[in-house]
Amino acid sequence: MQMSVLMLGRFLQGVGVCSLNVSTLSIINDRYEGSHRIHLLALINFGSTLSPMLGPVLGGYLFITLGWRANFLIVFMIALLAVGGLWQSLPKHKPTLVPMSFKEVILVYVGLSKNVEFMANLLLYAALTSGVIAYLTGSAFVMIKQLQLAPELYGLLQLWIFGAGALGSLSVIAFIHYVNVKKIVAVGLSLVVVATLLLTFNSLLWSDSVRALIIPMMVYMLGLNLC
């Protein structure tokens, strides 16, 4: 297979995943309010954390036993099941759509860009998420290529990192009705800052240590999912 075809497929896969995230958030915002909305978002976030937690483990063993093509085949079948489930479970009523010209759409985005509170939250979310994207992009190269870890061992280590993220989501679900949401977010942000400092410090002193990478990333994921 040509690398360009593989990259195109991965690009389209990413577009689909991002589209699903947008539609999921829209449905929750339209149908739920207050702490119930936060509870559901935390529950969905917990489910999303299970994928990178279990995916590398299962993918590593599938790669060893059946080859790399088996991973894509299984993802394709899971996607078909997900589409079928959404088709059956989503509300059947058609929302009232208001036609908008391209100019009106642009004006809406311009208006959002002028909303200081919205932009601050958006940039903060982007900054927090970029840390996870950077880890997912480079961790396999660092641990498998540079530190010579076996693919299956790399997958097992992800259980600790994303397990910490799942713990963060479960903590939000457990405490959202009893603790002010701003306090939960403050704790999460504090953990992310501490983890970022540890990652920077450890990369300079212990760049050949797996533990120096895994432990701060566990703290990072815990804090991120609390936010």
Query: Could you read off the pLDDT of 45-91 as tens digits, one per residue?
Result: 777 777 776 776 777 777 778 877 887 888 888 888 877 877 777 66
Question: 205: which DSSP letter?
Answer: H
Give how far the C-alpha of residue 66 lies from the chain's centroid of Cα atoms, to the nearest Å: 27
Helix 181-205 to helix 151-175 angle, to the nearest 10 degrees? 160
Question: 95: which DSSP letter?
Answer: P
Of 111-120, 147-156, 160-169, the poorest mean pLDDT is in 147-156
Write down the pLDDT at residue 140.
Answer: 80
- Phi, psi (deg, nearest 5) at residue 216: -60, -35
Of 35-39, 169-173, 194-198, the poorest mean pLDDT is in 35-39
Rounded to an integer, what distance in angstroms lies between the CA atom of residue 152 and that of residue 59?
Answer: 8
Q: For residue 180, name the pLDDT band (cuts at 50, 70, 90).
A: confident
Rounded to an integer, what distance in angstroms lies between the CA atom of residue 88 and that of residue 121?
Answer: 34
pLDDT tens string 184-197: 889 999 999 999 99
Rounded (5°) CA angle 170-171-176: 110
Write down the pLDDT at residue 1.
Answer: 55
In this predicted structure, the answer to whether residue 219 has a pLDDT above a threshold of 90 is: yes
Counting Cβ atoms within 10 Å, is residue 197 exposed (0-12), middle (13-18) or buried (19+)?
Answer: exposed
147 vs 133, 153, 212, 217, CA distance in Å?
20, 12, 12, 17
Q: For residue 96, name the pLDDT band (cuts at 50, 70, 90).
A: low
Percent over 70 (pLDDT), the chain = 94
Residue 165 near residue 53, CB atoms below 8 Å: yes
Rounded to an integer, what distance in angstroms lies between the CA atom of residue 191 and that of residue 193?
Answer: 5
Q: Provide the mean pLDDT of the chain.
A: 81
The reported pTM is 0.72
